[in-house]
């Protein structure tokens, strides 16, 4: 899948289970990884493991049920000069996943400011 090489995936729930497996698969395809998870210890372990496998990875603490956390994760992604080309938001949380995904994508794409009133 050469079309993925060099692009960046933002993976929520990426510290364990399907999210971590997805991160390994996409890393093996040459993608940069932004791995987000609410569990800080698991996130740190996943970030070390993915990095040791040779994948470019940024771990960010994020609870997808909280818009503030998504905004902070988007800012961390942008500050680290990694632009997310694909979002993989796994099903968990209480909000509409479509709404959360659209908000996060708009922040990353720059069509919506991370913080209300900023640009």
The predicted-structure confidence for 88-117, as pLDDT tens digits, reads as follows: 444 444 445 566 566 656 655 666 544 433
Q: Residue 28's pLDDT is what? A: 92
pTM of the prediction?
0.68
83 pLDDT more than 80: no
**Rounded-to-integer distance, Cα 91 and Cα 119, Å:** 30
pLDDT above 70: residue 79: no
pLDDT of 75 above 60:
yes
Mean per-residue pLDDT, 46-59: 94
CA 54 to chain CA centroid, nearest Å? 18
- Do residues 35 and 23 make contact, with C-beta atoms less than 8 angstroms apart? yes
- What pLDDT, on the 0 to 100 scale, is given for residue 44? 96
pLDDT value of position 64: 86
């Amino acid at each position: 899948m050469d079309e993925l090489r060099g692009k960046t995936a933002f993976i929520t729930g990426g510290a364990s289970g399907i999210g971590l497996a997805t991160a390994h698969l996409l890393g093996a395809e040459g993608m940069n990884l932004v791995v987000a998870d609410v569990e800080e210890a698991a996130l740190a372990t996943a970030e070390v493991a993915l990095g040791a496998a040779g994948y470019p990875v940024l771990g960010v603490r994020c609870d997808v049920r909280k818009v503030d956390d998504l905004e902070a994760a988007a800012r961390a992604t942008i500050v680290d000069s990694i632009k997310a080309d694909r979002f993989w938001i796994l099903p968990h949380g209480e909000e509409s996943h479509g709404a959360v995904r659209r908000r996060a994508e708009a922040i990353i794409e720059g069509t919506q400011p991370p913080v209300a009133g900023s640009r």
